[in-house]
């Protein structure tokens, strides 16, 4: 290790950790729920795929969030991945806005769990919460994906350095070019156009 590497190290308190994490570019999602615990939702970047066998993802939620109790009581949620043009709704679901005002900013349908699915989300994952672990201030919710709907055709919305940004979609049709447009790196072939809906058979 060189001296300059040592000098650039920052002690890892909560604020240094938050600052470091702000460098990561993340997809932005609305996590929604409805049922006996009431309708609720919040903006989240802490969403990650766990497994495709069976299809499982995780969501990290602050136990102090107003959506926490409804999520746990309902045992179901929908992960709605946002695109360009969703900055306002992302801000509303990002806290301190009454739930009715948050949901008034979008149009919704239901896919099976009862959780609201944003009609123009890039993709919606309708889920049952199957397990949860408390870690620090947050719970990690493990979610079985029971249905997937994709309708939105917008560029992806990212959150990076505490700002919303967009990632252009890969060019339509054919295989990805060797040098993707505007600096975006394409990974594999893009999925077919148009809405797709996958429902779990069991």
Ligand X SMILES: Cc1cc2nc3c(=O)[nH]c(=O)nc-3n(C[C@H](O)[C@H](O)[C@H](O)COP(=O)(O)O)c2cc1C
Q: Which residues bind ligand X (CB under 6 A)?
A: 28, 42-46, 60-62, 65-67, 94-96, 159
Shorter beta-carbon distance to ligand X: residue 45 or 119: 45
Interstrand relation of 26-27 and 156-160 (parallel, antiparallel or unpaired): antiparallel
Q: How far is the C-alpha of 198 from the C-alpha of 153, rounded, in Å?
A: 18
- 70 token code pair: 């409804």
Query: Can you say how many angstroms the Cα of residue 184 is from the centroid of all Cα atoms in its chain?
Result: 20
> CB of residue 62 vs ligand X: minimum separation in angstroms?
4
Shorter beta-carbon distance to ligand X: residue 46 or 186: 46
Q: How far is the C-alpha of 33 from the C-alpha of 124, rounded, in Å?
A: 12
Shorter beta-carbon distance to ligand X: residue 43 or 113: 43
> CB of residue 28 vs ligand X: minimum separation in angstroms?
5
> CB of residue 16 vs ligand X: minimum separation in angstroms?
19
> CB of residue 177 vs ligand X: minimum separation in angstroms?
31
Length in residues, the chain: 202
């Amino acid at each position: 290790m060189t001296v300059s590497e040592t000098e650039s190290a920052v002690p890892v308190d909560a604020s240094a950790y938050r600052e470091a994490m702000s460098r990561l570019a993340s997809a932005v999602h609305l996590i929604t729920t409805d049922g006996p615990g009431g309708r609720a939702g919040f903006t989240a970047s802490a969403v990650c795929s766990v497994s495709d066998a069976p299809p499982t993802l995780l969501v990290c939620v602050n136990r102090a969030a107003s959506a926490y109790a409804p999520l746990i009581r309902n045992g179901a949620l929908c992960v709605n991945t946002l695109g360009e043009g969703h900055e306002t709704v992302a801000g509303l679901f990002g806290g301190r806005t009454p739930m009715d005002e948050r949901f008034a900013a979008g149009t919704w349908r239901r896919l099976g769990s009862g959780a609201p699915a944003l009609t123009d989300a890039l993709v919606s994952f309708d889920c049952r919460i199957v397990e949860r672990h408390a870690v620090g201030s947050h719970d990690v919710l493990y979610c079985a994906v029971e249905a997937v709907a994709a309708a939105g055709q917008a560029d992806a919305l990212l959150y990076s350095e505490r700002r919303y940004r967009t990632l252009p979609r890969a060019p339509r049709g054919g295989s990805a070019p060797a040098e993707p447009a505007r600096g975006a790196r394409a990974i594999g072939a893009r999925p077919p156009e148009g809405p797709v809906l996958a429902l779990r058979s069991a």
